[in-house]
Structure 1
Amino acid sequence: MPRTLETADGAPAVTESLPRMAASASMARDMVCQAVETWGLAGLGDSATLLVTELVANAVMHARGNVIRVTVTRVAQRRVRVAVVDRAPVSELPRPSDPLAEGGRGLFLVEAVSAGWGVDDLGWGKRVWADLQVPAVVESPDPSVPIYSSPSAQVVYVLIVLAVAAAIFVTAARG
């Protein structure tokens, strides 16, 4: 059962030790999903579960020992950190994988989905973490400014406006 705690700086966190086996990914996803929902950040649920799945899969495949620790921490109002600790030493950064290989893209996926990620050397093992950030709220645009469905449509609109302005200028210049 996950344990709820506060970090040294007062941030809420949920953590659980899990067996180093593939089935632990499901338990980790449930824990992370429940935590982000509890904190009112359910919009991060899909990304958080993807991240924890990849981090657990890497630990299951490459770590030593029988146990891993999964932690999700609310590091800021709109930011969470998903981390997996294992007993393997820090290894090299991700390297390109064989395009035909079935695996080898996990950390590239983590990098693409997260707001940042890293590896902490613990001496006896490592912590691989990834942060997720709730996107900033975008204010509604001025309703008098037309919004177009694509950048191409916006370019066409600007070109039309310029053509009309040019036509008016040429007509005015001719008298």
Structure 2
Amino acid sequence: MTSLSTQVHVDSVGHPVYSQSFPCEPSTAEIGRRILRDVLGIWHLDDLDSLADRAALIVTELVANAARHTSCQEIRLMVRRPSATRLRVGVLDRAPARLPTLGQADDDESGRGLVLIDAVADRWGYDLHGSGRRPWGKEVWAEIRITGGA
């Protein structure tokens, strides 16, 4: 039994995706982690603890970064399988001018989000959405290689 509010249909071909909008606030990370685990279960990837743990950390940090560095009211969590061997987790916001940069972590707990993502993901980046001259938003994403499982 899943707690997803919309049914996810997974075909044997193509690239499945789950996407849902949430308030842009730190507490959304907990909801995002729960949904991520539900989606991994639907895709029969929930027995891969390392994958689930790494992806949950990515969700947490992407949501925290959006909540901290944008003034957006809403964000969209996206969980995709761009191929049979890759999982992509992304957060879309409407602040295309606030691009992510990998920097040095401060002595306190700020500035560590992308450093953590860089450490656990196989790759990460961002995509602007909208026209090249006037984007309306950006998706910050990270990908993890799927080893074992379905």
**Which TM-score band applies after superposition, normalised by the shorter structure?**
0.7 to 0.9
Q: Who is 2:27 aligned against?
A: 23
The answer for unaligned runs of 5 or more in structure 2 is 130-134
1:93 is matched with: 101
Pick the aligned partner of 1:84 from 91, 108, 114: 91
For residue 37 of structure 2, what is the aligned residue in structure 1? 33
Q: Which has the larger radius of gyration?
A: 1
Aligned-pair RMSD on alpha carbons? 2.1
Q: 1:79 is matched by which residue type in structure 2?
A: R
Whether 1:50 and 2:81 are equivalent positions in the alignment is: no
SS at match of 2:108: coil
Shift of 1:92: 5.1
Write the distance in 1 (CA, Å) between the matches of 2:93 and 2:100: 15
- Aligned residue for 1:69? 76
The count of aligned residue pairs is: 134
Structure-to-structure mapping, 1:94-113, within 5 angstroms: 94-98=102-106, 100-113=107-120
Report the identity percentage.
38
Deviation per CA, 1:44-68, whole angstroms, max 9, x where unpaired? 1111111111000101111222100
Task: Give the residue type in structure 2 aligned to 1:126.
Answer: K
SS of residue paired to 1:4: coil
- SS of the equivalent of 2:104 reads coil
Give 1:127's match in structure 2, choosing from 116, 121, 139.
139
Give the number of the structure whose residues are more often strand, by fraction: 2
Which TM-score applies when normalising by structure 2? 0.81
| Structure 1 residue runs without a partner (length 5+) | 138-175
TM-score by length of 1: 0.70
SS in structure 2 opposite 1:118?
strand
Write out the 4+ residue segments of structure 1 that deviate beyond 3 Å after TM superposition. Answer: 2-6
> Which gives a bigger RCO, structure 1 or 2 (Cα 8 Å, sep 6+)?
2
Greater helix share, 1 or 2? Answer: 1
* C-alpha contact (below 8 Å) 1:2/1:14 kept by paired residues: no
Q: 1:4 aligns with which of 5, 8, 16?
A: 8
Report how far residue 36 of structure 1 moved.
1.3
